A = this chain, B = another copy of it.
Amino acid sequence: MTEPVRDAARIIVTGGTFDKRYDAIKGELTFTETHLPALLEQGRVKLPLAVDIRLLIDSLQMTEAHRQQVLEACRESPELSIVVVHGTDTMVQTAQVVGRAALGKTIVFTGAMVPYSVQGSDAEFNLGFALAAALTLPAGAYVAMNARIFSWDDVEKDRGEGVFRRP
């Protein structure tokens, strides 16, 4: 039997709640560096992975230029399976930019509702979930959060509930 899934992937980091960290002096959540290597170590990840840290910002501060940077990172990726770690507030918008470009790769957007640095974070679960989706789904752009997978053109965030759903 042939290997049913691809055997390498790329993770593109853009920031978001996923990567916020508590600054004990300022007393607030900020960005300093990505937690991604810590998450991969915790997950004991054995898959060959490339990590591309493009941005480290809150997704509410993402401009159209930032979204073009994400699209560019996806276009340049030699791997066909890509996970984009992104803030949840504008994840859908960036997924639309990438989805419309139809790059012929499987590009899965994920993030976290609770930062990895906070107890009870969903970051580790979502990262594992998104990685498997990126390895197995047909080419296209998707949002994968909290055990649900949506196509880029069939998803919205319900901010009051903090969940993604079909419109």
Residues of A whose CB lies within 8 Å of any CB of B are: 1, 3-5, 7, 9, 17, 22, 24-25, 27-29, 39, 41-47, 49, 89, 113-115, 117-122, 124-133, 135-138, 140, 142, 144-149, 151, 153-154, 159-164, 166
Q: Determine the distance from Cα of A41 to Cα of B121 in the docked complex, in whole angstroms.
A: 10
A46: which B residues are within 8 A, CB to CB?
145-148, 163-164
| Contact call B121/A135, Cβ cutoff below 8 A | no
Q: A24-B114, A154-B1 are in contact. Are A129 and B126 (CB under 8 A)?
A: no
Q: Determine the distance from Cα of A24 to Cα of B159 in the docked complex, in whole angstroms.
A: 10
Number of copies: 4
| Contact call B151/A128, Cβ cutoff below 8 A | no
| Contact call B43/A1, Cβ cutoff below 8 A | no
Q: A43-B146, A146-B45 are in contact. Are A119 and B117 (CB under 8 A)?
A: yes
* Closest 7 pairs (CB-CB, A-B): A128-B128, A43-B125, A128-B129, A132-B132, A125-B128, A47-B147, A136-B136
